[in-house]
Homo-oligomer: A and B are copies of this chain.
Amino acid sequence: MKNIRDLISHCPLFAGLPEDQLDSVRDIIIEKEYGKGETIFSEGDNGIGFYLVSQGMVKIYKVSFEGKEHILHIFGPGEVFGEVPVFTGKVYPANSEAIKKSRLLFLSREAFISLITKNPSISLNMLAILSMRLRQFAAQIESLSLKEVPGRLASYLILLSEEQQNSASVTLSISKGQLASLLGTIPETMSRILSKMSSMNLIEVNGRDIRLFDMDGLQDLAESGKL
């Protein structure tokens, strides 16, 4: 399939590999389909391999004692997840579920280890990716512990506006409730803060479209964390 090949060569994990190596990666891949709401793996499962999102979207989440769910990550096309236990030889530390109909590429542990042993440059790329993710996590921890919710939201919006080309207006790819969970809060609080920020003319909310009026104000908010 041309699609798969394309995806592999564009995902940061394998980007820049020579043709033959890309082929060898493709050879160990197994394609899988998941419906919306379908579980991919559960906390405690053995780490038999990791995944690359081809189409759709998956969430990685934990469930607390009371059954409250907290989303750690949301992955879309081109992103890799579930690789953590593959190297440590342990179990998956969180749950994973498709949040829309998804096509995933699966790389088994054994196949990958033999591949990496033959091609050290693949491992260098992987190290870079893990390091990037570590940076993101550090930022998230900083956010959670050093900033209050409005500050986290402002950071998130600024990040979004940098990712999407349009700097003055962004579109959420997830629901506001999910965003709340991602920022470590609850839908009610999210709603209140969005309307507060609207009334201060920082932003304008229209469903999932958010217009950013005052980037400087948002930047201040993201840094100081105070509304």
Q: Give A residues with C-beta under 8 Å from B.
A: 62, 64-66, 68, 70, 72, 83-90, 93-94, 113, 116-118, 120-121, 123-124, 126-128, 130-135, 137-142, 144-147, 184, 223-225
Contact (Cβ within 8 A) B65 A124:
no
Indicate whether A142 sits within 8 Å of B70 (C-beta atoms), given known contacts A134-B133, A225-B64. Answer: yes
Contact (Cβ within 8 A) B72 A134:
no
A-B complex: 8 closest residue pairs judged by Cβ atoms: A145-B184, A64-B146, A123-B123, A137-B137, A130-B130, A87-B131, A65-B223, A87-B128
Expressed in whole angstroms, the Cα–Cα distance for A83 and B65 within the complex equals: 34
Expressed in whole angstroms, the Cα–Cα distance for A111 and B128 within the complex equals: 16
Name the residue on B nearest A134 (C-beta): B84
Contact (Cβ within 8 A) A94 B64:
no
Chain B residues whose CB sits within 8 angstroms of the CB of A127 once the complex forms: 87, 123, 126-127, 130
Name the residue on B nearest A224 (C-beta): B65
Expressed in whole angstroms, the Cα–Cα distance for A72 and B64 within the complex equals: 22
Which of A84, A90, A121 has the most chain B CB atoms closer than 10 A to its own CB? A84
Contact (Cβ within 8 A) A68 B146:
yes
How many protomers of this protein does the assembly include?
Answer: 2
Name the residue on B nearest A140 (C-beta): B141
Contact (Cβ within 8 A) A113 B123:
no
Expressed in whole angstroms, the Cα–Cα distance for A184 and B147 within the complex equals: 11
Indicate whether A123 sits within 8 Å of B116 (C-beta atoms), given known contacts A70-B142, A87-B128. Answer: yes
Expressed in whole angstroms, the Cα–Cα distance for A56 and B146 within the complex equals: 27
Expressed in whole angstroms, the Cα–Cα distance for A86 and B134 within the complex equals: 13
With A64-B146, A88-B131 already in contact, 10 other A-B pairs whose C-beta atoms are closer than 8 Å: A70-B145, A84-B135, A87-B130, A88-B132, A90-B135, A93-B135, A116-B120, A116-B123, A123-B127, A144-B144
Name the residue on B nearest A68 (C-beta): B146
Chain B residues whose CB sits within 8 angstroms of the CB of A225 once the complex forms: 64-65
Contact (Cβ within 8 A) B130 A66:
no
User: Could you give 14 example pairs across A and B, Cβ below 8 Å?
Assistant: A70-B142, A87-B131, A88-B131, A93-B134, A93-B135, A93-B139, A113-B124, A117-B120, A118-B120, A123-B123, A134-B134, A134-B137, A141-B141, A144-B145
